[in-house]
Amino acid sequence: MSSNTAEDGFRYYGPRPNWQWVDVAELWRFRELIWTFAQRDLKIRYRQTAVGAVWAILQPLLTMAIFAVLFGLLTAKPTSSGIPYAITCLCGLIPWKLFEGTITASTTSLVQNQNILQKVYFPKMILPLASLIPPLVDFAIAFCLLLVLMPFFGVAYSIKMLALPLVLIGLLAVSLAVSLWLSALNAIYRDVQFIVPFMLQIGMFISPVVYEMNAIIPEKWRWLYSLNPMAGVLELFRWSILGLPAPSFSSLAISLSGTLLLLLGGMFYFRRMERFFSDRI
């Protein structure tokens, strides 16, 4: 709801314009709530599980094992860098799991919290923002595993790892952008939550998760491939962790501008739909 700037000490609320920029100041005021929701989801997630947070390690490990066996049987070569498959695959899988976890949680975040949305006001964007955090915790755990495994497989740490925080921010931006679109859409069209699992499955194969882009995608199609914002981010992960050659400037530019467009569009779309959520959810 719009708050016109305070006149005579009042903050006024009325019907608001269709298109609005994100109220960053308001989100900042509510920042504690992001952590509250994230904490709630973290606490509930591994309750009544036998191994708890070990799942954060097991999931990428098992997926990696499946693909290692699969590619072994097919005698295919999904990598061209010469780095052991376990490591290069985990370098793709661990950030992909973050993306996947965020999308899965955020798509239903508004619907699952509808009872709260209908009783209390807070900026709704808090919910998709909060769904970034639990997968981020899993990411941290799995990343530690990767760091332990690398010397074991004889892979050296790259100095470019210093750039990892920046790459991570890129990954979070892509995840948030897609989350904003899907959570807002799912609040109005419940079909979205059924489509998302398929989208993620397809997404995993059209992104360089279990293979390296250079090994599989022909040179002339790389520009098209780079339209997928996850493609650029995942290649950057391999670049910074393993010291592989960086993706070309043009494909990076395509990925980055795609991400920015998606993020800005998502923010506007979310803000536009936000005011209908409590009436229609």
Partner 1 sequence: MSDVVIRVEGLGKKFKLGTSEPYYRLSEAIVGLARHAAAFPKRLFSSSTSSDASNNIPAHAPNEFWALKDINFEVKRGDVVGIIGRNGAGKSTLLKILSQITEPTEGRFGIKGRVASLLEVGTGFHPELTGRENIFLSGSILGMSKFEIKRKFDEITNFAGTDKFLDTPVKRYSSGMQVRLGFAIAAHLEPEILIVDEVLAVGDAEFQKKCVGKMGEVSKSGRTILFVSHNLAAVRSMCNKSLLLQNGIARFFGDTDHCLKEYSNSFRQPIQNHAAHLGSQIHILNAYVDLPDERLLTTDDRVTLKLVYRVSQPQITISIGLAVYREGELLFSSVNRPGASETPDPFYKIPMDPCVYICDCTLPGYFLNDGDYFITFRIYDNSNNTIAETSGIQLTIHDSATMRDDYLGIWQGMIRPQLSWNTYRQDHTLAENNYET
Q: Which residues are at the interface with partner 1 (CB under 8 A)?
A: 1, 4, 9-16, 32-33, 36, 39-40, 43-44, 47, 116-122, 188-192, 195, 275, 278-280
DSSP notation for 158-212: PGGGGGHHHHHHHHHHHHHHHHHHHHHHHHH-TTHHHHHHHHHHHHHHTTTSSS-
Minimum distance between the CB of residue 142 and partner 1, rounded to whole angstroms? 25
Cβ 191 to partner 1 shortest distance, Å: 4
DSSP string computed for 124-139: TTHHHHHTTHHHHHHH
Q: Which is nearer to partner 1, 17 or 154 (CB)?
A: 17
- How many Cα atoms sit within 13 Å of 163 on the Cβ side? 15
- Considering beta carbons, is residue 1 or 58 the nearer one to partner 1? 1
Closer of 39 and 201 to partner 1 (Cβ): 39
For the bound state, the minimum distance from the C-beta of residue 166 to partner 1, rounded and expressed in Å, comes to: 30
Instruction: For partner 1, give the closer residue by CB, 43 or 77.
Output: 43
Name the residue nearer to partner 1 (CB basis): 33 or 227. 33
Closest distance to partner 1 from the beta carbon of 46 (Å): 11
**The token pair that represents 26 in the structure block:** 């308001």
Write down the least CB distance from residue 98 to partner 1, Å: 24
Which of these, 228, 229, 225, 246, lies nearest to 237 by C-alpha position?
246
Q: By C-beta, is 47 or 220 nearer to partner 1?
A: 47
- State the minimum distance, in angstroms, from the CB of residue 167 to partner 1: 31
Q: CB–CB of 273/184 below 8 Å?
A: yes
Burial of 229 per CB tally in 10 Å (0-12, 13-18, 19+): buried
CA dist 145 and 123 (Å) reads 36
